[in-house]
Amino acid sequence: MTKRVVITGLGVVSPNGADITQFRHALKNGVSGIQHDPQLEQLLFSCQIAGKPVIDTDRISQYFTELEIRNLESTGIVYGVIAGLDAWKDAGLKPAPDETPDWESGTVFGTGTSGIDKFRGAIYKLDNLQIRKLGSSIVAQTMASGVSALLAGKLGLGNQVTTNSSACATGTESVLMAYERIKSGQATIMLAGSTSDSGPYIWAGFDAMKVCTYKHNETPEKGSRPMSATASGFVPGSGAGALVLESLDSALARGAKIYAEILGGHLNSGGQRGEGTMTAPNPLAVQRCLSMALKSADIQASEVEVINGHLTATVKDTLEIQNWVTALGRSGKDFPYINSVKGMIGHCIAAAGSIECVASVLQLHEGFIFPNINCEDLHPTIEMLIDPERIPRTCLHKEFNILVKASFGFGDVNACLVLKKYNHG
């Protein structure tokens, strides 16, 4: 007998809002979190704009001990721990007591790479023959699972504690992995989420691949343009998103606030076969992932009301829309509403999926569809596929029941999640 799974807590550290209240406001009002980044300019990046959450030191000291702060050089861990603990609190949960772990609670908290600034510092010391001066904090901050390990320690989690990694699909994958664990009865509560470091050392590789825009260094807020005719590459971002997943039984038993139900989802890969490569998606795999997600959720394509896309503001946006059209068998005016958070915050790499899942849940729970900013000049190929009215440019206040969220990543990997509004009573 499988368990129904609901979402009972949310946390977010986003470039356009470093907590749920700010993020909700930014989403509804189309507030950009993209700014000029002097360090990127100094280091001769082609793209000198980025999305970086704003967190002051007072806030950090509420989440980390004095000792942890001393050598803390992993922005990803800072974002992940803040978002994760916020979600836990939002769910009305407390850390386990001192002596006993909470055997029924765990976490899947993903990242691409952890503590890249910490790593850089360590490498400089090492090359200067100062290995003995590294201290004890390197491993815990540079191991990929550093973020899930720290969260588990702070909360006393005694179930599965792991970090997943699947490039830009990481965040959505973490939610699905946590969902499966609860659905199969192996855990009662799982903290799902993902995080991504800020700064030149995490973003440089993308700049070097020429996948980031270099046309908006003077107009940062206009830089990230999903679905626009003038989209010219993504804007790098960073941050973290976190969601508390829980069995419906547990949520009802403790009278928790329920944001939404996870009906199902799917994870797959195009195997880098056909049109799929390390960096390009195999469209058949994407379409299959979307169709299989609907099948797993036991809903018809006609029931989908809102899509939160991956839509990065690259040449692949058109292909993504084509894939949705094909998978759902819907186009023109019949197409669901679709939006992309990336117009406001850029592409937060490993954190993108989880921040966007938080945005998806907020929309579903509160009955709004946030505006797509920077696509006033809709791409003509997209306009041929779906009616422009289905791509809201202003916030729509509208109750709806079914939202589908998808994320796609390097390595030709795909993740798709089906969410339903939860009606109490």
Partner 1 sequence: MDREVIISAIKEVAAPYTQDKQALDEISETTSFITDLKINSANLVDIVLDLEEKFGIEIDNDSMAKMLDVKSTLDVIEAKLAEK
List residues binding partner 1 (CB under 8 A). 66-67, 70, 132-133, 135-137
Nearer to partner 1, 62 or 65 (CB): 65
Q: Which residues contact 114 (CB under 8 A, 6 or more apart)?
A: 74, 76, 77, 141, 142, 143, 144, 145, 146, 147, 197
Rounded Cα distance, 114 and 369, in Å: 33
What DSSP assignment string belongs to 376-397?
SSB-HHHHHHB-GGGS-SS-EE
- With beta carbons less than 8 A apart as the criterion, state whether 180 and 247 touch: no
Q: Please report how close the Cβ of residue 151 comes to partner 1 at its closest, in angstroms.
A: 18
CB of 131 to partner 1, least distance (A): 12
**Which amino acid would we find at residue 260?**
A
By beta-carbon proximity to partner 1, the closer residue of 56 and 98 is 98
Q: b/e string for 149-171 if b means 16 or more Cβ within 10 A?
A: bbbbebbbbbbbbbbbbbbbbbb
Shortest distance in whole angstroms from residue 67 CB to partner 1: 5
For residues 138 and 359, which CB has a smaller minimum distance to partner 1 in the complex?
Answer: 138
Q: Are 79 and 351 in contact (CB under 8 A)?
A: yes
Q: How far is the CB of 72 from partner 1 (least distance, A)?
A: 13
Rounded to the nearest whole angstrom, what is the least distance from the CB of residue 117 to partner 1 in the complex?
A: 19
**Amino acid letter for position 218:** E
Cα-trace Rg, the chain: 20
Residue among 136 and 423 whose Cβ is closer to partner 1: 136
Q: What angle do CA 101, 141, 182 make, to 5 degrees?
A: 40
Nearer to partner 1, 65 or 100 (CB): 65
CB of 67 or CB of 278, closer to partner 1? 67
As measured in angstroms, the least distance from the Cβ of 140 to partner 1 is 8
Closer CB to partner 1, residue 125 or residue 365?
A: 125
The CB-of-136 to partner 1 minimum distance in angstroms stands at: 5
Residue 350's region, left for phi above 0, alpha for psi from -120 to 50, else beta, is alpha
Contact 11, 242 (CB under 8 A): yes
